Amino acid sequence: MNKIRVLIVDDSALVRQVLTEILSQDPAIEVVGTASDPYLALDKIRRLNPDVLTLDVEMPRMDGLSFLEKLMRAHPMPVLMVSSLTERGCETTLRALELGAIDYVTKPHLDVRLGTLEHAEEIQDKVKVAAQARVRRRARQPAPAARSTDSSADRVAPHPVMFRTTHRVIAIGASTGGTEALVQVLTALPADSPGIVVVQHMPAGFTRSFAGRLDNLCRVSVKEAGNGDRVLAGHVLIAPGDFQMEVARSGAEFAAKVFPGEPVNRHRPSVDVLFHSCAQALGPNAVGIILTGMGADGARGLLAMRQAGAHTIAQDEASCIVFGMPREAIALNAAEEIAPLDRIASAALRLAAGR
């Protein structure tokens, strides 16, 4: 079995040393080189032909985003980015994912060595997932949706009345590759879509920025969920990083329950937590969607939703960056439909309308 060849690109000698130590402990991975800036990295990519690149987001001589954009045009390859959890880092990380990075790991502020070593297994797993991911040239980013200057007016032209009168809820779960998959799904929805709840595997500090980015792109309103936020038509609630999120029912109304529960399937937020709550609280009044991602989080929850009468959709293998979570759901017969990414929004609306 050939080892996964990794090139580490980081301006910190300490980080390069710690990442080399972590990755070299996994028998499936070989660190073939390191580079302290993008120019050195380009030369080593040509000479060493790595399978995966780990990339810092703030680099000397050329910033990480500029390098990533050039790399994905000239030599597309799996990139795992390394980022600190600062507000600037959040925006940089989201932009890197948009440009084609497969995933990211967090670089701790304090005690970089110890903090990074504590995430050794996660880093090894993400490198191995990245090595198997489908790398694509990214389409041009969609323009922000037009908005009315009148705060009392709809943000776009109204769509069929049925979306304003139903009590259906669309629940979406995603992991690796999910940030851009969610952009494609959510930007395709009309302003009066059913209420939507989303778990995207993301740490604390990233989900607020991610929700803000989506809000600028979408006709639906998007925000990071707060405990007690109502699930309303035309609104999307993103589970906050490092918290679990459920949907709770009170009479004819639905609301998000956000709480600091234990990790489930090693994730907080967990797709299974959200989906199981939807099965219990919503039953047939829900549509469950599982998108690209590593692991199996969400598969059993999607099955519970289907067994409770909900409509369920899994993203197909060809359009997934990582066909992990959808594959596990399909294997459990949890998915009523299997659809390519560009058809998931229309399928969700059709099923939510009972067609």
How many C-beta neighbours within 10 Å does residue 46 have? 9
DSSP class of 145 = P
Q: Which residues on neighbouring strands pair with residue 246, listed in sequence order?
A: 257
Q: Mark whether 175 is an active-site residue.
A: yes
Q: Which residue has the tokens 């994912």?
A: 97
How many C-beta neighbours within 10 Å does residue 233 have? 18
- Which among 103, 201, 267, 316 is annotated as catalytic? 201
246 token code pair = 């459920």
DSSP three-state, residue 74: helix
203 token code pair = 């740490």
- Which among 175, 193, 209, 270 is annotated as catalytic? 175
Q: Say if residue 269 is preceded by a cis peptide, omega within 30 of 0.
A: yes
Secondary structure of 168-223 in HEC code, one letter for each residue: CEEEEEECCCHHHHHHHHHHCCCCCCCEEEEEECCCCCCHHHHHHHHHHHCCCEEE
- Which among 229, 297, 316, 319 is annotated as catalytic? 297
Burial class of 3 by CB neighbour count within 10 A (0 to 12, 13 to 18, 19+): middle
215 token code pair = 């809000």
Which is nearest to 327 in space by CA: 348, 302, 304? 302
Residue 158 contacts residue 192 (beta carbons within 8 Å): yes
Q: Mark whether 297 is an active-site residue.
A: yes
As a whole number of angstroms, the distance between CA 134 and CA 319 comes to 9
Angle at alpha carbon of residue 232, lines to 263 and 305, rounded to 5°? 50
Helices (H), 26-161: 38-48, 64-74, 87-99, 112-117, 120-132
As a whole number of angstroms, the distance between CA 348 and CA 68 comes to 33
Q: Mark whether 277 is an active-site residue.
A: no
Which is nearest to 223 in space by CA: 209, 211, 205? 211
Which residues belong to the active site? 175, 201, 297
